[in-house]
Chains A and B, each alone.
Chain A
Amino acid sequence: MLNARISVPAVARRGEILTIKTLVSHPMETGFRRDAMNQRIPRNILTEFVCRLDDELVFRVDLHPAISANPYLAFHLRATRSGTLWFLWRDQNGEVTTERRELQVND
């Protein structure tokens, strides 16, 4: 079970550009490392991150092994309407971790 940290303001002014930051626990094992017995450690990575506002796509990322362990992603959103922000991380086996945050946009 992954745990995630998300930083996003709960309330924003319409038109304001918000910074959204996410951090998730994952080893992002590259598949290139070997253990003490010289056995290759199998690749185990997150491959996708998606952020939506309700059903509108805000930001999507394809991740490769060059992304550091415990991936950190920061991006922006122009606050145009209130809604639910959905965050999704998908690993190489299709397992997903999701989080949600409510966003209220005022005039």
Chain B
Amino acid sequence: MTERRAALLLAVLSAVALPLLCAAQLRTDAQVFEDLPAAARELPAARSGYHYQSEEIQALQDDDFANPAMLWVDRGRVLWRQVAGSEPSCEQCHGEAQSLRGAAVRYPQYDAGVGRLLNLEGRINQCRTERQGLEALAYESDALLSLTALVSHQSRGLPIDVSIDGAAQAYFEEGRRYFYTRRGQMNLACYHCHQLNAGRYLRGDRLSQGQATGYPIYRLDWQTLGSLHRRLRFCNTGVRAEPFAFGDPAYVSLELFLAWRARGLPWEAPAVRR
């Protein structure tokens, strides 16, 4: 056998064997949060994903002119003032978008009227259908991203501060369970990458703590602005799990757990990530 062929064989063998070995190793871990040993439940000191980016990307986020996400904030401001039919525009009820400073850092939030947990996108759509007589906007549509970016941007610098009391508690627990539950062909939970291995490298990527501190975000990978749910779907497909639909209640509950986990971190929207 030539040296080249031997090397190829070795590569193929390790490609097949390594994931199996890893899976076997990881399968011995606990399945859900409640079963984890106390040490594994400890959350590390929260650190924004900003710190896991290169200086180049940090500079792009820091530059309010060059940050491409600001294009969506500008478009959101146009939509904010737009009047459709006889119903009020966002501006006619809320005044300047700045009046919603502090809103984004308190979402997701339980809404007693609707009877469920709403994230920022859900709140904007609820406002449209209930108060403006408009159709709900599709997730990842330019209009919903733009309005979300505008509202979210107003809270920049404020500490994340969601409530997990009362009716929100059940959603919080569901979100926490999601975070610690293995899924997909790789059989990995959120916490395997973003808690146990945060700061380590996965090929050229440095794993962050998965702190959602500035959504919607401009990802260079996407070359556009995207919601947290797009990022969660991306995470799901990354571990070869079937992603949930945009706006799925499972994601909204996870969003609440993530926000609680990132509590106190300053809001960065619109953030830039690799």
Is there a direct interface between A and B, measured as CB atoms under 8 Å apart in the complex? yes
Task: Write out, one digit per residue, whether chain B residues 136-169 have a CB within 8 A of any chain A CB (1) or not (0).
Answer: 0000000000000000000000000000000000
Interface string of A24-41 (1 = CB under 8 A from B): 110110000000000000
Chain B residue nearest to A28 (CB atoms) is B223
B65 near A5 (CB under 8 angstroms)? yes
Contact (Cβ within 8 A) B65 A25: no
A21-B66, A23-B65, A23-B66 given as contacts; is B223 within 8 A of A5 (CB)? no
Q: A-B pairs with the 5 shortest C-beta distances?
A: A69-B223, A70-B68, A25-B71, A7-B65, A3-B74
Cβ of A72 within 8 Å of any chain B Cβ, yes or no, is yes
Could you tell me if B223 and A27 are in contact, using CB atoms closer than 8 angstroms?
yes
**A98 sits at the interface (CB 8 A):** no
- B71 / chain A contacts, CB cutoff of 8 Å: 3, 5, 23-25, 70
**Chain A interface (Cβ within 8 Å of chain B)?**
3, 5, 7, 21, 23-25, 27-28, 68-70, 72
Minimum Cβ distance to chain A for residue B117 (Å): 30
Task: List 11 A–B pairs whose Cβ atoms lie within 8 Å, in order of A's numbering.
Answer: A3-B71, A3-B78, A5-B65, A5-B70, A24-B71, A25-B71, A27-B223, A27-B224, A28-B223, A70-B68, A70-B223
Specify the chain B residue showing the minimal Cβ separation from A24: B71
Instruction: Determine the distance from Cα of A3 to Cα of B79 in the docked complex, in whole angstroms.
Output: 13
Question: Which single residue of chain B is at the shortest CB-CB distance from A7?
Answer: B65
Instruction: Write the chain A residue with the least CB distance to B72.
Output: A25
Chain A residues with Cβ below 8 Å from B68 are 23, 69-70, 72
Give B251 Cβ to nearest chain A Cβ, in Å.
20
Residue B231 interfacial (CB < 8 Å): no
| Docked pose: A27 CA to B75 CA in angstroms | 15
A13 and B68 CA atoms in complex are apart in Å by 30
In the complex the two chains form, what is the Cα distance from A38 to B74 in whole Å? 34
Residues in B with CB closer than 8 Å to A5 are: 65, 70-71, 74
Residues of B near A70 (CB, < 8 A) are 68, 71, 223
Give Cα A69–Cα B65 distance, bound, in whole angstroms: 15
**Residue of B whose beta carbon sits closest to that of A72:** B66
Instruction: Give min CB distance, B9 to chain A, whole Å.
Output: 31
